[in-house]
């Protein structure tokens, strides 16, 4: 898998997820085989204004490489200054978010709102390309709503502006993360471009990854929610591609991985913040098990590493009682 000058070891990418794909989770995903990881989405305007918290989002460990930084914004001059300021950092590519559906982002003319303004989107790409020799890529949707599915023309504008690859989430902004992923539109984008196209949306296992490749012809897949609580998905997809079967994940595997993520999170954020950041996602490690609501409640109450260990013991007792 090649994106501009960047060579990736495989075609399975971890999507940037706000509040989830911090350095701790990215390190775990990389260990499990993710071919590329990304920072959480970073505001170019906040970076331009020297916001300290935003700058913290750019921190990463060498173990995570290759890594892309994902920026969002709608002002070409601001994006250009931001890229210039961070170009000396060891990021492997610059990704522009043009697919985020969150209202506060869209209302500011950013994220998926840019799907309505291809000319501005192209100028943002050009502004970034002027300041870096690293690949500049874009994450987009198939359109803003069902009446304005313009992914093909939009992606062509991005390629003409210098984008080295595009990731297409197969839903409109109006759909958020619900409804059917329209793989046929991703296929149309792939057929229209010469740069790599990365398929995104509802890739949760080897079967759905194979369907994305077969139905779209895409060059790689990007995995977001399918990786939450399941960083083994990258290992499993690589094994399936090689015709082998990965080992089944046990309760102990899940508990050990969650505790490792907690240790990495603590080293990054300190114990209180590090553990609190896991409250919302810890339950995903045990998604699909009985007592799901009770399990989520146990994790939402933890504030220390010791309490997390105790919660895991209680989850074990719940599952063994079945």
Host domain of residue 258:
251-321
Catalytic residue among 100, 129, 157, 218: 100
Backbone angles phi, psi at 281, to 5 degrees: -110, -15
Instruction: State pLDDT tens for residues 253-277.
Output: 999 999 999 999 999 899 999 999 9
Amino acid 25: pLDDT: 96
Mean pLDDT across the stretch 196-213? 96
Q: What is the pLDDT of residue 52?
A: 82
Question: How many distinct structural domains can be found in the chain?
Answer: 2
- The rounded Cα 271 to chain-centroid distance in angstroms is 25
Shared domain for 44 and 184, answered yes or no, is: yes
CB neighbours of residue 67 within 10 Å: 23
The residue count for the chain: 322
Q: Give the model confidence (pLDDT) of 109-147 as tens digits.
A: 999 999 999 999 999 999 999 999 999 999 999 999 999
With both helix axes pointing from N to C terminus, report the angle between 151-161 and 118-129 in degrees, rounded to the nearest 10.
Answer: 30
Q: Does the pLDDT value for residue 289 go beyond 90?
A: no
Reference 203, options 14, 1, 66, 7; nearest CA is 14
The predicted pLDDT at position 174 comes to 93
Q: Are 206 and 196 in contact (CB under 8 A)?
A: no
Q: What is the pLDDT of residues 272-281, one digit of tens each?
A: 999 999 998 8
The answer on 170 and 39 residing in a single domain is yes
Give the DSSP per-residue string, 272-285. Answer: HHHHHTTHHHHGGG
pLDDT in tens, 36-60: 999 999 999 999 998 888 888 999 9
Q: Would you say residue 312 lies in a domain?
A: yes
Tokens standing for 149? 């599915």
Task: Give the residue from 241, 260, 292 where a domain finishes.
Answer: 241
Q: How many C-beta neighbours within 10 Å does residue 156 have?
A: 16
Query: pLDDT confidence of 288, banded at 50, 70, 90?
Result: confident
Torsion of CA 138, 183, 201, 109, to 10 degrees: 40
What does the buried/exposed string (b/e) look like for 233-262 if buried means 16 or more CB atoms within 10 Å of the residue's CB?
bbbbbbbbeeeeeeeeeeeeebbebbeebb
> How large is the average pLDDT for residues 154-162?
98
- In a shared domain, residues 154 and 50: yes
Single out the residue of 192, 140, 197 nearest to residue 170, CA to CA: 140
- Cis status of the peptide bond prior to 255, with omega within 30 of 0: no
Residues 234/25, Cβ–Cβ less than 8 Å: no
Q: What is the mean predicted confidence (pLDDT) over 231-238? A: 97
Q: Is the pLDDT of residue 232 over 90?
A: yes
Tokens 């010791």 label which residue?
306
Predicted local confidence at residue 322, as pLDDT: 63
CA 26 – CA 234 distance, rounded (Å)? 12
Interatomic CA distance for residues 243 and 237, integer angstroms: 10
42 and 153 in a single domain? The answer is yes
pLDDT at 293 (0 to 100): 86
Phi-psi domain of 202 (left: phi exceeds 0; alpha: psi -120 through 50; beta: other): left
Report the alpha-carbon distance of residue 311 to residue 314 in Å, rounded. 5
The answer on 96 and 6 residing in a single domain is: yes
What pLDDT sits at residue 221?
Answer: 98
Domain end among 217, 241, 265: 241
| Residue 173 vs residues 16, 149, 150, 168, 177: alpha-carbon distances, Å | 17, 10, 12, 12, 9
Is the Cβ–Cβ distance between 212 and 221 less than 8 Å? Answer: yes
Q: Is 128 a residue of the active site?
A: no
Q: What is the mean pLDDT of residues 241-255?
A: 92
Counting residues of the chain whose pLDDT is more than 90, the rounded percentage is 87
Q: What is the mean pLDDT of residues 234-247?
A: 92
Q: Kindly report, residue by residue over 8-47, the tens digit of the pLDDT.
A: 999 999 999 998 999 999 999 999 999 999 999 999 999 9
Counting Cα atoms < 13 Å in the Cβ hemisphere of 195 gives 24
Of 178, 211, 241, the one marking the end of a domain is 241
- Is 246 part of any domain? no
Residue 151 has pLDDT above 80, yes or no: yes
Say how far apart CA 29 and CA 39 lie, in whole Å. 13
Query: pTM of the prediction?
Result: 0.94
CATH number at 212 reads: 3.20.20.70
């Amino acid at each position: 898998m090649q994106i501009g000058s960047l060579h990736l070891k495989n075609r399975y990418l971890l999507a940037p997820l706000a509040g989830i794909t911090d350095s701790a989770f990215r390190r775990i995903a990389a260990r499990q085989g993710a071919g590329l990881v990304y920072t959480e989405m970073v505001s170019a305007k906040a970076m331009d204004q020297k916001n300290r918290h935003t700058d913290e989002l750019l921190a990463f460990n060498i173990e995570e490489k290759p890594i892309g930084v994902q920026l969002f914004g709608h002002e070409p001059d601001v994006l250009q200054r931001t890229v210039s300021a961070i170009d000396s950092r060891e990021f492997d590519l610059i990704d522009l978010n043009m697919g985020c559906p969150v209202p506060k982002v869209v209302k500011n003319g950013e994220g998926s709102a840019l799907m309505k303004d291809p000319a501005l989107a192209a100028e943002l790409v050009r502004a970034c390309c002027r300041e870096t020799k690293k690949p500049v890529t874009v994450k987009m949707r198939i359109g803003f709503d069902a009446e304005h599915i313009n992914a093909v023309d939009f992606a062509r504008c991005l390629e003409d502006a210098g984008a080295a690859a595009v990731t297409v989430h197969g839903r409109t902004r109006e759909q958020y993360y619900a409804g059917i992923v329209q793989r046929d539109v991703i296929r149309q984008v792939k057929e229209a471009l010469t740069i790599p196209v990365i398929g995104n949306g509802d890739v949760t296992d080897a079967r759905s990854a194979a369907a994305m490749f077969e139905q779209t012809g895409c060059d790689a897949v990007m995995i977001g929610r399918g990786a939450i609580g399941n960083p083994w998905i990258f290992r499993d997809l690589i094994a399936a591609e090689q015709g082998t079967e990965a080992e089944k994940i046990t309760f102990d595997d899940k508990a050990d991985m969650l505790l490792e993520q907690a240790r990495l999170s603590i080293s990054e954020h300190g114990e209180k913040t590090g553990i609190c950041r896991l409250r919302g996602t810890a339950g995903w490690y045990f998604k699909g098990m009985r007592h799901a609501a009770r399990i989520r409640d146990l994790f939402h109450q933890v504030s220390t590493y010791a309490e997390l260990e105790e919660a895991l013991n209680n989850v074990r007792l719940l599952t063994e009682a079945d």
